[in-house]
A and B are shown apart, each in its own frame.
Chain A
Amino acid sequence: MDATLKQTITELIAAHGVLLFMKGHKDAPQCGFSNQVVQILKHAGADFHTVNILDNEALRQGMKEFSNWPTFPQLYINGEFIGGCDIVTEMFQKNELQPLLDKARKAS
C-alpha cells in the first residue's frame, strides 16, 4: 500500500475513538448494512465519526487491504477493527458492544 495512504488511514483510526468506514454518511447512509450499523451506534448513544468510502476510491481499496476485510461497513473502536454489520449486530444483541463503546475515546 502507498505509504501516504497508510499514514492517512493510521491517523484517521487514531483520531477517533469510534470510527465507521461506510457507504454514505451517518446522516445519509447509502447501503442497508451501513445504515444498520449507524442505527446501532446511535441507539447505543455512541459518539462516532463516519467516513464515506464511496467518495474516495483509493481509501476504499486501502481499507479493504488494511483491515483484511473485503466489504463495508467497517467499525473501529479505539484503533481496533471490530468487524462489519453482522459482527456488530451480534455483539450488540449479546451486549458485548456497549462496554466497548463506553470505553472509547471521545470523538474529537
Chain B
Amino acid sequence: MLSHDALAALIRQAIPDAEVLVREFAAGGDHFQVEVVSPAFAGKSRVAQHQMVYAALRPHIDDGVIHALGLTTRTT
C-alpha cells in the first residue's frame, strides 16, 4: 500500500517545486489519479511531462504497488 503523502513525496523528490494532488479512484489502494503542477514542465510535450512523473514512480509501478495511474500534468 502506498499512502497519498508517500506518493506525493516521491514525485516531489524528482520535481521539487511540484504541487501534487493525489486521489484514489478504485477500491484496493493501488489505483491512483494524480495531478502534478510545476513550471518544470514548461516547453515539454505531454509525453515528456508524463515521463518525468513516471521516472519518479517507476519502482512502484514495476513492483505493482501502483497498479493503475491516471496522470494530469500542467505548468500552472
Contact = CB atoms under 8 A, between A and B. Distances in A.
Contacts of A66: none
Contacts of B62: 70
Given A69-B54, A70-B54, A71-B69, A87 B47 contact: yes
Interface residues of A, number: 15
A83 B73 CA distance: 13
A86 B50 contact: yes
Interface residues of B, number: 13
B61 A70 contact: yes
From DSSP, what is the main secondary structure of chain B's interface residues?
Answer: helix
Contacts, number: 33
Interface string B35-64: 000000000001100110010001001100
Contacts of A86: 50, 70-72
B68 interface: yes
Contacts of A82: 47
Contact of A33 (B51, B54, B68, B72): B68
